[in-house]
Amino acid sequence: MTDSIKRPIPGGKTASSAKAYCDGWRKYADPIARHFGWAIHSFGPSSVRLVSPDHKHTQDIELRFIELLLPSIQKADACS
């Protein structure tokens, strides 16, 4: 990823470096992956792909669903 191209990240922001892009996505995707016991496989402009612990299954979750789901997961994790 070059520093001159701005790419969208969750939260309505953009990133121009690979680190900022990955950090922006992980902020949203890590809590969801941990909550379900899966791992991040990859992410793109509009979704994140999770992989099951046995690496046999993947699941794509769209950004708009992640943004709606994340507050509930954070609340549930705080209660446990």
Across the chain, mean pLDDT equals 88
* Amino acid letter, residue 28: Y
SS3 25: helix
- How far apart are alpha carbons 38 and 40 in whole angstroms? 7
Is the pLDDT assigned to residue 70 strictly greater than 80? yes
Q: What is the pLDDT of residues 9-41, one digit of tens each?
A: 888 888 999 899 999 999 989 999 999 999 999
pLDDT of amino acid 62:
92
The reported pTM is: 0.79
Pairing of strands 47-51, 39-43: antiparallel
